[in-house]
Amino acid sequence: MLEERNPFICGAPVPPSHFVGRKRELKAIFDQLASPASRSISVVGANRIGKTSLLQYIASNHVAETCGLNHNRCVILYLDCQSLGSSPTGRFWHRTFELLMHEECDDELKKRAGRIRETPTITHSHVEQFLRWLKKQGQRLILALDEFEWMLGADIDDEVTMTREFLPNMRALLSRHGRELSLITATARLLEEECRSIEFKGSPFYDLLNPPVNLRPFVKARLGNS
């Protein structure tokens, strides 16, 4: 039976309670996240194609469990990178741990997140220690990062420098702690294109998030199973 409801709301994302379609895209995403390698993945699509709706749906309660991830062992956070303002790399981890403090998750996890959140400068080591603790608890963190373009540099020299440090550090975290940390990034263009102006000394960050999931417009005849 075809779904007759229009899945789009003008000027706002579709709330998770009314989300429809995207079954193949959801399967592709969760196949990667729930695989033994627990890979990260990128979502690519034009503006107003539904990236925000998709990521907010993935991060909503119990969706992960219906798609093969243990809800009690997995915390999925939605973060709009654009909301981090003009210095996103400097605010990224503070915002992440702030969100963790308010999640429906283990009290000890929230306490640890709160202590890290209060640290004036959250370093790579702080995040690594937290991920090692997560591993001991048998838990994992998945970050659904909307408008990820905002993490890829700006016209300010200091921010470009921070981006060139942030991405390799993030790659290192994903490589070493893939079982505890995964990303779902959403961008308008392929990550490779978005990172074109960034000079990577080693392997580029985006290699860990390929192949991408491409979002395309809905077709009414296929909406019920798209």
Tokens matching residue 69: 């991830």
Task: Summarize pLDDT for 81-137 with one digit per residue, the tens.
Answer: 999 887 788 899 999 999 999 887 788 999 999 999 999 989 999 999 999 999 999
Quickly list H helices, the chain.
Answer: 23-33, 51-58, 63-66, 88-101, 107-117, 124-137, 157-176, 191-194
CATH of the domain at 124: 3.40.50
Task: Summarize pLDDT for 134-174 with one digit per residue, the tens.
Answer: 999 989 999 999 999 988 864 444 455 566 678 888 999 99
What region does 172 belong to: left with phi over 0, alpha with psi -120 to 50, or beta? alpha
pLDDT for 28 equals 92
108: in domain: yes
202: in domain: yes
Which residue type is seen at 152? L
67: in domain: yes
Number of domains in the chain: 1
Find the domain containing 197 and state its range: 59-225
88: in domain: yes
11: in domain: no
Is the overall model pTM greater than 0.85, yes or no?
yes
217: in domain: yes
45: in domain: no
52: in domain: no
